[in-house]
Amino acid sequence: MTVTATETGLAARMRTGSQAEHNDAESSVFMNALLKGEVNETGYAEYLVALRPVYEALEKVGRELADHPVVGALIDAGLERLSAIDVDLEHWAPAGAPTFESKAVANYVARVNATLDDPVLYVAHHYTRYLGDLSGGQAIGKLLGRAFDIDDKSGLSLYEFPAIDKPKPFKDGYRLRLDELDVSEEDRARIVEEVRVAFSLNSAVFAELGRNMDRYQR
């Protein structure tokens, strides 16, 4: 019998508990334009530059928590995105990565770093970005490839997970690991709340990017 995540387990609660925030992130001006192929190379490069410090923090904290009795179960070097972002930036900004001064990015990074003092909350940040990259991210990668006529996946490494055979079974396993985390009910509720925070932190970054649409319009 295959064991799967349950409808009432932590994984399901994280998904349903953040549905409204997921919808908000999805329908932001910047994301909408990105999905319609209306964001140019500069805009996409700045999006990567904005995400870069977030992944840097996620991966640094993740390594520090790799042996943590709860969080350790989720850490997987095959998910790391930092070097993929650097490879992609060479494609989208060959003359050098742009700068993107951002209060929203600084807030997001600070929140991820703060989980070092409250490691169960790291689970929420790990889930929000990495499961997102393996879910909607896959569709975003395909849309970008089509919009920019990329047939060799060049510039789209963010959506490629060479260490993961297929996203679906990986995500099923990940959800099962979430359900099996040895955390109290109180911590489960705190993790669900932190997922909502993580989505809002993403939306704040997208809102900043959205204010530059005059420069990004394609």
> Of 13, 22, 81, 188, which one interacts with ligand HEM (CB under 6 A)?
22
Which uninterrupted H or E stretch holds 168? helix 167-179
Q: How far is the CB of 205 from ligand HEM (least distance, A)?
A: 9
96: left (phi over 0), alpha (psi -120 to 50) or beta: left
Instruction: Closer to ligand HEM by CB, 68 or 171: give it.
Output: 171
The residue number whose beta carbon is nearest to ligand HEM equals 136
The answer to whether residues 3 and 112 touch, using CB atoms and an 8 Å cutoff, is no
Residues 129-168 that bind ligand HEM (CB under 6 A): 129, 131-132, 135-136, 139-140
Q: Which residue has the tokens 């997001």?
A: 108
Q: What is the dihedral of CA 159, 85, 77, 135, to 10 degrees?
A: -30
Q: Which residue has the tokens 């001006």?
A: 29
Under the binding rule (CB under 6 A), the answer on residue 188 touching ligand HEM is: no
Instruction: Closer to ligand HEM by CB, 92 or 159: give it.
Output: 159
Q: How far is the CB of 1 from ligand HEM (least distance, A)?
A: 22
* Distance, CA of 189 to CA of 184 (rounded, Å): 9
* Centroid of chain to Cα 144: 17
Query: How is residue 165 annotated by DSSP?
Result: S
Under the binding rule (CB under 6 A), the answer on residue 35 touching ligand HEM is: yes
Under the binding rule (CB under 6 A), the answer on residue 170 touching ligand HEM is: no
**Binding interface with ligand HEM (CB under 6 A):** 11, 14-15, 22, 25-26, 31, 35, 127-129, 131-132, 135-136, 139-140, 171, 199, 202
